[in-house]
Amino acid sequence: MNAAVTSWIEEMAKLTKPDRIVWVDGSEEERERLTAEAMATGELHRLNQEKLPGCVLHRTAPNDVARVEHLTFICTRKKEDAGPTNNWMAPEEAYRRLGEIFDGSMRGRTMYVVPYLMGIPGSPFSKVGIELTDSIYVVLNMRIMTRMGRVALAELGESADFLRGLHSKADLNPERRFICHFPEDNTIWSVGSGYGGNGLLGKKCFALRIASYMGRQEGWMDEHMLIVGIEDPAGNVSYVAAAFPSACGKTNLAMMIPPAPFRAAGYKVWTVGDDIAWMRIGPDGRLWAINPETGFFGVAPGTSYKTNPMAMETVRRDTIFTNVVLTPEGTVWWEGMDEEPPAQGLDWQGRPWTPASGEKGAHPNARFTAPAKNCPIISPEWENPRGVPISAIVFGGRRARVAPLVYQSFDWEHGVYVGASMASETTTAAAGKVGVVRRDPMAMLPFCGYNMGDYFAHWLEMGRRIPNPPKIFHVNWFRTDEAGRFLWPGYGENFRVIKWILDRCQGRGEARETPIGYVPTEEGIDLTGLDLDRETMRHLLAVDREAWLGDLEDQETFFARFDRLPPAIHGQMEALRRRLGG
Active site residue ranges: 248
**If binding is defined by CB under 6 A, does position 190 make contact with ligand SPV?**
no
CB 26 within 8 A of CB 131: no
**If binding is defined by CB under 6 A, does position 322 make contact with ligand GTP?**
no
Axis crossing angle, helix 452-465 with helix 412-420, rounded to the nearest 10: 160
Q: Which stretch binds ligand SPV (CB under 6 A): 175-183, 196-204, 315-323, 544-552?
A: 196-204
**If binding is defined by CB under 6 A, does position 275 make contact with ligand SPV?**
yes
CB 107 within 8 A of CB 18: yes
For residue 536, what is the enclosing H or E element? helix 534-540
Residue whose C-alpha is closest to residue 173's, from 64, 68, 97: 64
Axis crossing angle, helix 567-579 with helix 412-420, rounded to the nearest 10: 90
Bridge partners of residue 475, in order along the sequence: 396, 406
Question: Quick one: 305 or 486, whose CB is closer to ligand GTP?
Answer: 486
Which amino acid is present at 342? P
240-259 residues near ligand SPV, rule: CB under 6 A: 246
What does 115 interact with, of Mn ion, ligand GTP, ligand SPV, none (CB < 5 to 8 A by kind)? Answer: none
Q: How far is the CB of 396 from ligand GTP (least distance, A)?
A: 9
Q: How far is the CB of 313 from ligand GTP (least distance, A)?
A: 15
Query: Any alpha helices (H) in 17-90, and if so which ranges?
Result: 28-41
CB 218 within 8 A of CB 124: no
- How far apart are the C-alpha atoms of 432 and 445, rounded to whole Å? 15
Q: Could you give phi then psi for residue 30, rounded to 5 degrees?
A: -65, -40
Closest residue by beta carbon to ligand SPV: 197
What does 486 interact with, of Mn ion, ligand GTP, ligand SPV, none (CB < 5 to 8 A by kind)? Answer: ligand GTP
Axis crossing angle, helix 452-465 with helix 211-218, rounded to the nearest 10: 40
Among 131, 155, 275, 335, binds Mn ion (CB under 5 A): 275
Q: Which stretch binds Mn ion (CB under 5 A): 158-166, 241-249, 445-453, 524-532?
A: 241-249
Q: How many residues bind ligand GTP (CB under 6 A)?
A: 22
Which amino acid is present at 327? T
For residue 437, what is the enclosing H or E element? strand 437-439
236-255 residues near ligand GTP, rule: CB under 6 A: 244, 246-252
Q: Which stretch binds Mn ion (CB under 5 A): 269-277, 310-318, 405-413, 563-571?
A: 269-277
What does 95 interact with, of ligand SPV, ligand GTP, Mn ion, none (CB < 5 to 8 A by kind)? Answer: none
Among 429, 511, 516, 568, binds ligand SPV (CB under 6 A): 429
Among 180, 299, 362, 422, binds ligand GTP (CB under 6 A): 299
Question: Quick one: 56 or 228, whose CB is closer to ligand GTP?
Answer: 228
Among 65, 156, 179, 429, binds ligand GTP (CB under 6 A): 429
Q: How far is the CB of 275 from Mn ion (least distance, A)?
A: 4
Question: Quick one: 115 or 197, whose CB is closer to ligand SPV?
Answer: 197
**If binding is defined by CB under 6 A, does position 197 make contact with ligand SPV?**
yes
CB 276 within 8 A of CB 227: no
**If binding is defined by CB under 6 A, does position 298 make contact with ligand GTP?**
yes
SS3 566: coil
Sign, CA torsion 101/107/113/116: negative
Which amino acid is present at 374? N
Axis crossing angle, helix 545-560 with helix 567-579, rounded to the nearest 10: 160
Report long-range pairs for 234-237 (Cβ below 8 Å, ≥24 apart): 237/270, 237/381
Q: How far is the CB of 98 from ligand GTP (least distance, A)?
A: 26
Q: How many residues does the chain have?
A: 582
Which chain residues interact with ligand SPV by CB under 6 A?
67, 196-197, 203-204, 246, 275, 297, 429
Which chain residues interact with ligand GTP by CB under 6 A?
244, 246-252, 274-275, 298-299, 301-302, 307, 429, 477-478, 486, 490-491, 494
